[in-house]
Amino acid sequence: MENKSFTATIEVAKSAKEVFEGICKVNEWWGHIEGKTEKLNDVFRYLPNDTWVNFKITECNDNKIVWHVTDCFLHWQNNKTEWTNTDVIFEIVETGNSTQINFTHIGLVPEVECYENCSKGWTHYIKISLQQFLTTGKGQLTK
């Protein structure tokens, strides 16, 4: 079966180490975060408006970061816990003078209610905000 989970890819003229460190500064490119976002087993909460999402970092090495959603409340959805038990994955691939980030939200598939809005959100935060943060030091936290 083909993987239909949401994906986005960007490339920046930075080292893999710089990219890894930048991804871990979640509050600089995504939004308000409570908790730690840098090491294996760190837990954090994303808090935009009336929504919240709890994450645990289940893999964290030089070339891959995985955030597991342990619980959530997506206030605008009928299924307010739709992200629970999904995984957000950042694969980091150094390619000469630049580094590619392959982003996947496993479980965010076209069949789920959140897909249209959430894929637009991730597209903004990965392809615009994270890209800008990694290249200029300033992310674009709001659309």
pTM as predicted: 0.95
With 70 as the cut, is the pLDDT of residue 111 above it?
A: yes
The predicted-structure confidence for 72-97, as pLDDT tens digits, reads as follows 999 999 999 999 999 999 999 999 99
Give dist(CA 22, CA 24) in Å, integer.
5
The predicted-structure confidence for 19-29, as pLDDT tens digits, reads as follows 999 999 999 99
With 50 as the cut, is the pLDDT of residue 118 above it?
A: yes
- Range 75-97 burial, b when 16+ CB lie within 10 A, else e: eebeeeebbbebbbbbebeeeee
Q: What pLDDT, on a 0 to 100 scale, did the predictor assign at position 49?
A: 84
In CATH, what class is 6-136? alpha beta
Q: Are 9 and 90 in contact (CB under 8 A)?
A: no
Looking at every residue in the chain, the average pLDDT score rounds to: 95
